[in-house]
Every structure is written in structure tokens, then in C-alpha cells.
């Protein structure tokens, strides 16, 4: 089987590439390296089943050329994954999310590729009223450019399925943690602890969110692809648990070998850490569970693995995403 993975040099995309190669698939990874890391795919470069192509999905012609070779499934993971950046750069998600997805779908249509897996987000639910939030919860109001672009992409993918007989697996992820993690709250806390005895929070520390280990995320993508047979399969991927940001800080401090009393916590004033931040995220994973998937790791286990990996790979803390604090 042949896969094209967009965002193949990123955190989740490179993990997915390794997963598919281990399953015996041929993988073409595409990335413009705006946030990708060579360290995440260099080990595959000698593998005859693996090909890396550096190109920008905003260039429609180049995407068409790259897809002309064909594939059984396109895993479209490339996007601006920094939710915070959207309000400062209001056209960023339009280009990296909406336009790039349109180019991917047109290139698929031209090449006759019929299956797409898409990485959406639990942020499309905005600030929901139902917890855990099921896939069919109402979400009329978007709170970030990022989620709005994901919702646009979900809609466009569904319309291509209707118009051109494609099949889609749309996964709405909670926040993902684990090896090769390059952005998010655990990253920011680890980066801060390397420099100072203080953790500055963007929020007041009370937001409660759900997190999922990257190995569970990739296994879930695979499982849904094998077992969900609809035309457009929309599936939450998350964990039954949720954890307040303050508790995450405590685990990061402990795992970094520090004592809680030694570290000053500087809390923000509001519950929302940034424009578009949702203070409570926990997704209902009953649909995935019904298909036979379960997350293997708890949130705490996922945080521990993330901190250990960042400690062992300090170069990753010089990440391209790190613009501020947790
Ligand atoms: N990490 C999470 O917690 C999380 C949660 C929900 C959804 N997602 C979604 O999952 C996907 C992967 O996220 P990630 O955490 O691996 O992010 P990431 O930033 O590590 O990976 C995205 C990759 O896409 C590449 N890219 C961006 N724009 C591109 C373009 N125009 N052309 C080609 N490549 C481009 C980047 O260089 C990067 O390597 C994203 O779509 C993200 O929105 C992630």
C-alpha cells in the first residue's frame, strides 16, 4: 500500500510515517519544513520504501506533480499547528489550512486518489456545553482562526467525497503528547525550566483539558481507517481523562528532577491563556471505542514520556514554534 503524508516531517506526521513503514507501506512524506525537523525523518532516508519531498502545499502545481505518482491513501496532516499564532496573523490559517487543503483535494482528484485521512481538532467545538463532547454536539461559534480553518477543511473534504466519490476519515484530536513533541504546554514548561526556576502560565492554571499519547493517536488513526466504513467518518480521538494545567506543571517539575517548592508558579489573570483558547476540552471517544480502539496510556504517562524525551533531546527545545510561555 502507498501513502502520501503531508506534514511528514512534523511531530505526528513523522510518527505516522514510521508506523506505516513498520506495517510494510510505501510512504512519501511531504513537508515545507516551516515547522518540521530533519531529525524526525533522517533515519528513513536510506529506506527504499520511503521518500521525502520538500514542497509547499500552497503551490498548487507542485502539489499536483507530487501527487501524480498516485497513492492508496493521503494522510493530510500539514497545517499551522500553532493555535495562538492565528489571531496575530489572521490569514495564516486561511493559507496553511483552507488553501492548502483545497490544493491537496484537487491534486487527489487529478491523480485519482480516493481516500483521505485528515487531522482536525477538538477545538472545532469552540466552548461546548456538553462534556465529554460527542462528534454531533452543536458548535455554531468558532473561537480561533485555526479551528475555523479546520472546520472549513472538514466541510471541503466532505463536499469532495459527495462530488467525486472519495472517502474520508476526519479525526478530531485533543492535544497530543509524546516523543518528537515540539509545541504546547509541556514543551513550554520544559523550555522554561531549563532556563529559570519559574513557570509562567498564560492562564490562571485552571483550564482542564484532555491529552493523548502520540502512539495512541497514530494507532487510533490506523484503527479507524481499518474499521470505519462510512463515506465521511468523523471520529474524536482523545482520552477519557482531563487534567488542569496546574497539575501538568507539577508533573513536569517532578519529572525534571526538581522540587515543587523550588519553582515559582507565576499564574496568568484569566482562564483563557490566549485568544481562541478553550478552558475545558474533553471529547467523547465512544465512536472510536465502538470500533474497538482504546488509548493505552494515561495523561500522566504521556506527560512523563514527553518530558523524558525532551530531556534526552534538548535540541528539540530550540523548536521553531516556541514563541512564548505555557
Ligand atoms: N499536536 C496536537 O496536539 C494536535 C492537536 C489537534 C490537531 N492537530 C493537527 O495535527 C496535524 C499535525 O500536527 P503536529 O502537532 O504534528 O504539527 P507539526 O507542526 O509538528 O506538523 C505539521 C507539519 O506540517 C508542515 N507544514 C505546515 N504548512 C505546510 C505547507 N504549507 N506545506 C507543506 N508542509 C507544511 C510543517 O512544516 C510541519 O512539519 C496538524 O494538522 C494539527 O493541526 C495537532
Residues forming CATH 3.90.25.10 domain(s) in the chain: 183-210+242-280+298-318
Confirm or reject: Cβ of 182 under 6 Å from ligand 1.
yes
Pairing of strands 115-121, 73-76: parallel
Residues forming CATH 3.40.50.720 domain(s) in the chain: 2-176+211-237
Query: Which residues have CB under 8 Å from 133's CB, separation 6+?
Result: 122, 125, 236, 281, 282, 283, 284
Residue of 57, 79, 150 with the most ligand 1 atoms within 8 Å of its CB, for mutation:
79
- Tell which CATH classification among 3.30.420.10, 3.50.50.60, 3.40.50.720, 3.30.565.10 matches the domain 2-176+211-237: 3.40.50.720
Confirm or reject: Cβ of 176 under 6 Å from ligand 1.
yes
Taking only the tens place, the pLDDT of each residue in 197-208 is 999 999 999 999
Instruction: Compute the distance from residue 6 Cα to the ligand 1 centre, in Å.
Output: 8
Confirm or reject: Cβ of 178 under 6 Å from ligand 1.
no
Confirm or reject: Cβ of 35 under 6 Å from ligand 1.
yes
Taking only the tens place, the pLDDT of each residue in 9-61 is 999 999 999 999 999 999 999 999 999 999 999 999 999 999 999 999 999 99
Instruction: Compute the distance from residue 33 Cα to the ligand 1 centre, in Å.
Output: 10
SS3 label, residue 178: coil
Instruction: Compute the distance from residue 76 Cα to the ligand 1 centre, in Å.
Output: 9
Pairing of strands 115-121, 167-173: parallel
Count of other CB atoms within 10 angstroms of residue 271? 16
Confirm or reject: Cβ of 78 under 6 Å from ligand 1.
yes
Element holding 321 (H helix, E strand): none
Q: According to the CATH classification, is domain 183-210+242-280+298-318 in 3.90.25.10?
A: yes
C-alpha cell at position 216: 495512541
Query: One digit per residue, pLDDT tens: the chain, 326 residues?
Result: 999 999 999 999 999 999 999 999 999 999 999 999 999 999 999 999 999 999 999 999 999 999 999 999 999 999 998 888 888 899 999 999 999 999 999 999 999 999 999 999 999 999 999 999 999 999 999 999 999 999 999 999 999 999 999 999 999 999 999 999 999 999 999 999 999 999 999 999 999 999 999 999 999 999 999 999 999 999 999 999 999 999 999 999 999 999 888 999 999 999 999 888 999 999 999 999 999 999 999 999 999 999 999 999 999 988 655 333 33
Amino acid at each position: 500500500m502507498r501513502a502520501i503524508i503531508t506534514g511528514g516531517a512534523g511531530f505526528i506526521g513523522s510518527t505516522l510515517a514510521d508506523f506505516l513503514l513498520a506495517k510494510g507501506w510505501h510512504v512519501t512524506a511531504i513537508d515545507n519544513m516551516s515547522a518540521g525537523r530533519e531529525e524526525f525523518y533522517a533515519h528513513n532516508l536510506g529506506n527504499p520504501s520511503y521518500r521525502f519531498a520538500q514542497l509547499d502545499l500552497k503551490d498548487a502545481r507542485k502539489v499536483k506533480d507530487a501527487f501524480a505518482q498516485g497513492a492508496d491513501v493521503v494522510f493530510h496532516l500539514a497545517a499551522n499547528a500553532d493555535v495562538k499564532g492565528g489571531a496575530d496573523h489572521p490569514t495564516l490559517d486561511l493559507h496553511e489550512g483552507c488553501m492548502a487543503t483545497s490544493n491537496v483535494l484537487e491534486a487527489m482528484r487529478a491523480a485519482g486518489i480516493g481516500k483521505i485521512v485528515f487531522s482536525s481538532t477538538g477545538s472545532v467545538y469552540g466552548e461546548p456545553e456538553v462534556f465529554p463532547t460527542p462528534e454531533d454536539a452543536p458548535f455554531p461559534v468558532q473561537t480561533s482562526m485555526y479551528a475555523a480553518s479546520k472546520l472549513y477543511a472538514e466541510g471541503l473534504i466532505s463536499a469532495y467525497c459527495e462530488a467525486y466519490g472519495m472517502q474520508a476519515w476526519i479525526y478530531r484530536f485533543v492535544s497530543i503528547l509524546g516523543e518528537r513533541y515540539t509545541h504546547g504546554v509541556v514543551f513550554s514548561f520544559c523550555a522554561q525550566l531549563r532556563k529559570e526556576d519559574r513557570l509562567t502560565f498564560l492562564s490562571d492554571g485552571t483550564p482542564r483539558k484532555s491529552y493523548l499519547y502520540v502512539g495512541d493517536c497514530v494507532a487510533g488513526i490506523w484503527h479507524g481507517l481499518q474499521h470505519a466504513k462510512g463515506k465521511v467518518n468523523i471520529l474524536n480521538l482523545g482520552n477519557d481523562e482531563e487534567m488542569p494545567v496546574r497539575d501538568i506543571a507539577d508533573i513536569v517539575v517532578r519529572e525534571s528532577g526538581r522540587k515543587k517548592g523550588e519553582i515559582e508558579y507565576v499564574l496568568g489573570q484569566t482562564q483563557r491563556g490566549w485568544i481562541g483558547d478553550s478552558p475545558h476540552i474533553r471529547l467523547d471517544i465512544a465512536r472510536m471505542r465502538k470500533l474497538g480502539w482504546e488509548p493505552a496510556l494515561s495523561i500522566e504517562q504521556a506527560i512523563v514520556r514527553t518530558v523524558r524525551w525532551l530531556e534526552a533531546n534538548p535540541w528539540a527545545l530550540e523548536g521553531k514554534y516556541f514563541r512564548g510561555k505555557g
